Structure 1
Amino acid sequence: MTAPATLDRSGIAARIPHAGGMCLLDRLEAWDAQSIHCTTTTHADPANPMRTASGLLAPCAIEFAAQAMALHGGLLATGDGPPAAGYLASTRNVRLHRARFDDAPAPLHLHAERLSGDAQQVLYAFRVLDADGRPVADGRAVVVLNTPLPDAAP
């Protein structure tokens, strides 16, 4: 079975571990083996679960980009089983271009490019842009794959 060229919100939610309001992506616009482009308007939703009394603070843009990375990994997965579990391990060279972004012109454009990786980890560059092409956040992120978390202590 081949992966779709585009997806709506329900198709995205079926391919990433984020459910309900925590699925922050509305649409897969395009993707290939090295990159992905998604859009969303969930940043403007007053019920966004990441929103504080001060609005949706700029560091939350990293989670939006990370979900695009998770979707990219799911689209690249081969076989019938679920995609490898991934965890955001680190971010580097992150630039936040505004203090909050719930008031940014919609839709947001989320771009992630796979720079390198293997079966254990992947390095992505990411950009989050508003509808006018102005940057919200950009940087690099390392996603660690197939690494089970230890069970919580009783």
Structure 2
Amino acid sequence: MPLRTMDKAWIAARIPHQGNMCLLDGVDDWSNEHIVCRATGHTDLAHPLRAAGRLGAATGIEYAAQAMAVHGALVAEANAAPRQGYLTSVRSVTLHAHRLDDLEGPLSVRADRLSGDTNNVLYRFTVSHNDRCLLEGRASVVLDAQAL
């Protein structure tokens, strides 16, 4: 699929996270089966998820969840409104780093759709920096939870 310019403004228009809670800066690659996003705000001292003076590696799960939301918007039919998704389960998460804020340069956030139907999706995700995996795991997303 041709890659459009998908920067922070484009992303913010398609996910519920706004302002500094929109953690992704752009989409680098995507298909119906995967997405790769870029994030650069992890070193910002005003990062909204910082706690105790640091940004712990587990916050990478939020980066991955936002990448999944962007992926859902991209694969939605052209005339379909973006669907509100809810992260319902995170499993098999392995942290390979203690924190994210001490890493200079962009983070790469990848989500691979493993399976799904019209209302439930399972993703595998990784957050990496310079080809070093910082965390990985799987996440389940329910779309249109109010319809259940």
For the 8 Å contact 1:5–1:30, the answer to whether it is kept is: no
Match of 1:82 in 2: 81
Q: Which letter maps to 1:85?
A: Q
Structure 2 unaligned residues grouped into runs of 5+: none
Provide the aligned C-alpha RMSD in A: 1.7
> TM-score, structure 1 length as denominator?
0.90
Distance 1:28 1:67 in 2: 11
Corresponding residue for residue 136 of structure 2: 138
- Per the normalisation by structure 2, the TM-score is 0.93
Which residue does 1:42 correspond to in 2? 41
* SS in structure 1 of the partner of residue 145 of structure 2: coil
Q: The residue matched to 1:148 in structure 2 has which SS?
A: helix
> Could you tell me how far 1:81 is from its partner in structure 2?
4.1
Residue of structure 2 in register with 1:19 after alignment: 18
Q: Secondary structure at the match of 1:5?
A: coil
Quote the residue 1:105 is aligned against: 104
Shift in Å, 1:6: 3.8
Tell me how far 1:4 sits from its aligned partner: 4.9
Aligned to 2:4: 5
% identity of equivalent residues? 48
Q: How many residues align?
A: 147
**What one-letter code is carried by the residue in structure 1 that aligns with 2:132?**
R
Which runs of 5 or more structure 1 residues have no equivalent in the other structure? 150-154
The CA deviation string for residues 29-65 of structure 1, in whole angstroms up to 9 with x for no partner, is 0100000000111111111100112300111100001
| In 2: Cα distance, 1:105 partner to 1:126 partner | 21
Which position in structure 2 is the counterpart of 1:152?
A: none
| Alignment check: 8 A CA contact 2:3 2:29 kept | no
**Aligned with 1:113: secondary structure?**
strand
3-state secondary structure, aligned to 1:71: helix
